[in-house]
Structure formats: structure tokens, C-alpha cells
Amino acid sequence: MEALTGQIQFINELEKLKTVKRRNLTLDNQRPENSAEHSWHLALMVPILSQYSASAIDQLKVMKMLLIHDLGEIYAGDTWLYDQSNQDETYQNELKAFQQVISPLPTGQQSELLALFTEFEAQKSNEAKFAKVLDAIQPLTNHLYVSNEKENPDQIKVSMVLEKKAFIKEYAPKLWALVEDTIKASVEKGLYEEA
């Protein structure tokens, strides 16, 4: 049962993702959302929104991808979408951290999870693209629903949001109107600067 020992070590390691703080908030005491509950939210959005993917997708694959996509943050921390630092360096750090997190697993499971992680980053497959759509929509809808009025400490502008979310138009065109409406309502709530 050597495999099981490593699998439980991995399962224990997952506890740490519940301590990785994101920029988004939660409803109750406006604490920062953590990457574990964010990943749960995304995985559950798969069966709810998959009909809007531009291409056919394997739901199980998208779900697994989203459940593990932030595990590198256990050692590398969360990177804010509007952070201007070196993105390639950020990814290399997360990849290294991810490999460390999965290292107690049997080699077959390590290979499967690593393949899902790098596939998400590569953004070539239909599953990776739709996973990215969900990962881009949840923070938008969360921000509008959860944040207090006029909460825009970093002076985020509409143009910056539109630039970051533009790919949704191609990967899930039927969700683009939602993105535009959400941004518009967020501007009315004072969460983004118009411009």
C-alpha cells in the first residue's frame, strides 16, 4: 500500500490551498476568497455552462483541469490578473510548485495531472479553452455580486478588463453579452473606471 501512503500525503497537502488568498472576496465577512473554494466554484460551473462552449468538450477533463489548475499556488502563491510581472517566470514558478505538490503520487497519476496542468497553460485544446473561460467569468460575476459599492482600490479600468476577457468572445461567443452586461453593471456599482 505504498501508493496509498503517497496519495494520502497528497490529499493532506491539498489542505494548503485553502490558505491561499485571492483578490476576490466572499459574502460573509468580506474575507478574501481562497483558491480551494474558487476551484470548487469553477468545477461546478462546468455542467451548468458547458452548452455555451464554442466547441464540444469532455466535461470530466475540464472539471479535473479546474480542480487542479491552482495547485501550484500552494508554494508559489496566487498571481493577480492585473499583475504586470514577468508572466513566463510566474508560470515556471507555478509549474515547479505544482510538480512538488504532486510528487507523492504514483507516477501514473503524476503524469495525468501534469498533462492536465500543462494543457491548461498551453490553451490549445477545447477543454483548456473552456476551462479558461470559466476561470475568467467567475471572478467577474463574483466581484459584481459580492463587492461593496465603489470598491476599486487599484483603479481598474473597463479597457483593462475587456482586454483580459476578450478571448471569451471566440471561445464562448454566447457568453460575451454576459461579460459586457456584467462589466456595465460593475461600472454602475463603481467597481471599474469607465475608460
Q: How many helices (H) and strands (E) does the chain have?
A: 10, 2
CB 104 within 8 A of CB 80: no
Rounded Cα distance between 82 and 45, Å, is: 23
Query: Of the candidates 79, 100, 178, 184, which one interacts with a second copy according to CB under 8 A?
Result: 178
Determine if 146 is a binding residue for a second copy (CB under 8 A). yes
From residue 61 to residue 100, the character string flagging contacts with a second copy as x (rule: CB under 8 A) and all else as - is: --xx--xx--------------------------------
Separation between Cα atoms, residue 154 and residue 150, nearest integer Å: 11
Give the dihedral sign, CA 84/87/91/92.
Answer: negative
Please check whether residue 136 is in contact with residue 164, taking contact to mean a CB–CB distance below 8 angstroms.
Answer: yes
Q: Does 36 bind a second copy (CB under 8 A)?
A: yes
- Closer CB to a second copy, residue 19 or residue 159? 19
Of the pair 19, 123, the CB lying nearest a second copy is at: 19
138 binds a second copy (CB under 8 A): yes
Is 20 within 8 Å of 78 (Cβ atoms)? yes
Residues within window 101-130 making contact with a second copy, judged by CB under 8 A: 105, 109, 112
Q: Please give the Cα distance from 6 to 25 (Å, whole number).
A: 33
Least Å distance, CB 80 to a second copy, is 19
**Under the rule (CB under 8 A), what is the footprint of a second copy?**
1, 4, 7-8, 10-12, 14-19, 26-28, 33-34, 36-37, 39-41, 43-45, 47-49, 52, 59-60, 63-64, 67-68, 105, 109, 112, 138, 141-142, 145-146, 174-175, 177-178
